[in-house]
Amino acid sequence: QVHLVESGGGLVQAGGSLRLSCAASGRTFSNYPMGWFRQAPGKEREFVAAVSASGGSTYYTDSVKGRFTVSRGNAKNTVYLQMNSLKPEDTAVYYCAKGRPGMVLTTIRSYDVWGQGTQVTVSS
């Protein structure tokens, strides 16, 4: 069973940057895609970004394109989310998730293992 642990969240001023990390247990990390989602208070969990198993393809929701970068280090069993030019509306709990191969990576049902989440707060 894969286990995911996020880190790197915190409080940052608008315009600042944070780098989230998600460490995965298990020896088959490079076999499946990974995604990042976020959930703000009172809102549904939403897709943020995803990366293919090889790292060669990435996907982003429109609101973060040009500001966020998703990447993975398969040798370290880790996926990253570099967040630049942060805005107050980026404030949320951020979750990483293990995707099912061959599924559409922008939907929650395409993921079967979730981390516990890390809080990101952007002050204005």
Rounded to the nearest integer, the mean pLDDT of the chain is 95
Q: Please tell me what DSSP assigns to residue 15.
A: T
pLDDT digits (tens, 9 = 90+) for 63-116: 999 999 999 998 889 999 999 999 999 999 999 999 998 888 999 999 999 999
Q: Are 11 and 90 in contact (CB under 8 A)?
A: no
Q: Are 7 and 20 in contact (CB under 8 A)?
A: yes
Residue-level pLDDT at 1: 83
What amino acid occupies position 116?
Answer: Q
Between residues 51 and 75, the one the model is more confident about: 51
CA 73 to chain CA centroid, Å, is 14
* Mean pLDDT, rounded, for 35-53: 97
Pick the closest to residue 101 from 112, 115, 114 (CA basis): 112
pLDDT digits (tens, 9 = 90+) for 16-42: 999 999 999 977 888 899 999 999 999
Q: Are 90 and 16 in contact (CB under 8 A)?
A: no
Has residue 52 got a pLDDT over 90? Answer: yes
What six digits make up the tokens of 13? 């001023």
